[in-house]
Amino acid sequence: MRQISEAFAARLASGATTLCACWRIERRDGEVFGATDHDRPVSFGGVEHEPVFALAGAALETGAGLAPGRAAAAGALDAAFIRESDLEGGLWDGARVDVWRVDWRAPEHGVRVWSGRLSEVGRSGAGFVAELVSLKADLERTVGRVYARRCDADIGDARCGADLAGPAFRGEGVVVEASGGKVFRASGLTAFADGWFAGGRVTWSTGANAGAGGRVAVHGAGEVAQIELAGAVRFPMAVGDAFVVTAGCDKGFATCGTKFANRDNFRGFPHLPGMDAVLAGPASDRANDGGRRA
């Protein structure tokens, strides 16, 4: 049950109040932003909430159970303060969101109706949209490490330690043909085997997408290599666009050794017994001397 002040309760009971939604958003770096579905700025809780009309009609879902509630997916947020550089840098990932119902005629009165975090932030045309989940989603968050056969580091990060700057793991290419927003053919990558860059990353050096990057889904080798990205680029690719691409990893122990000579830094548990070993029992048709587990 939500607690509201007697003064606010009296205004609600009078039937003369005018309510709006105020969204307070706090990023990981401590920056705080405000947005409202009202047509004028609303000052509430020490934060100036600017009009963001994409908030109008956003549905907030919650329940008495432990399943995390969600905010309306498309168009929940589309604010000018979400800059592309901050988005690419991950500053909006997991940002805290508090939604208040505020009387815009008397903005000192308000009640919090929903709290959560940004779960996904992406582009929508010239702007950005965000999806949110309630704080109950923290109950589903993995705490600590999970025992698994595959590596849980990202290729090239501090835990992995692989040096992707070397010529064996880094290529420079130029687009010779583009198809849609995800597939292109490129020159300059003839020295690399088929699939070498699958799971790696493309960073655009020139063209409309310069400075942006994306993950490689498929890499086909040849005199002219074919690359398919996991997601479409923001602007159309053009012949002559230059890029840098780094090798990918399937996070397997064998790949870590044969491709990167990096087994000492492998962050998985490749010798972890599987379910067959866990469930195995004694057999009646052979000696049970432990030889099959060697």
Tens-digit pLDDT profile for residues 150-191? 999 999 999 999 999 999 999 999 999 998 889 999 999 999
pLDDT digits (tens, 9 = 90+) for 88-133: 667 777 888 888 889 888 888 888 888 888 776 666 655 566 677 7
Per-chain mean pLDDT for the chain: 81
Which pairing describes strands 183-187 and 201-204: parallel, antiparallel, or unpaired? unpaired
pLDDT at 77 over 60: no
pLDDT at 207 over 50: yes
Whole-angstrom distance, CA of residue 128 vs CA of residue 181? 18
pLDDT at 62 over 70: no
Please say whether the beta carbons of 148 and 272 come within 8 A.
yes
Give the model's pLDDT for residue 124: 60
- Section 205-211 average pLDDT: 92
Nearest alpha-carbon partner for 179 in 229, 223, 131, 215: 229
Please say whether the beta carbons of 73 and 133 come within 8 A.
no
Q: Which residues pair with 245 in a beta bridge?
A: 171, 202
**Edge-to-edge strands of the sheet including 32-36?**
42-44, 47-51, 32-36, 19-26, 96-103, 110-124, 127-134
Domains of the chain: 6-140 (no CATH), 170-248 (2.40.30)
Which pairing describes strands 183-187 and 127-134: parallel, antiparallel, or unpaired? unpaired
pTM for the model stands at 0.57
Residue 144 tokens read as: 């600590």
Give the model's pLDDT for residue 57: 44
Please say whether the beta carbons of 88 and 204 come within 8 A.
no
Give the model's pLDDT for residue 141: 67
Nearest alpha-carbon partner for 248 in 134, 162, 158, 180: 162
In sequence order, what are the residues at sequence separation of 6 or more whose Cβ sits closer than 8 angstroms to the Cβ of residue 88? 212, 213
- Section 205-224 average pLDDT: 93
Give the model's pLDDT for residue 191: 93
Whole-angstrom distance, CA of residue 218 vs CA of residue 214? 12
Q: How many CB atoms lie within 10 A of CB 87?
A: 16
Of 28 and 136, more confident: 28
Element (H, E) at 234: none
Give the model's pLDDT for residue 246: 96
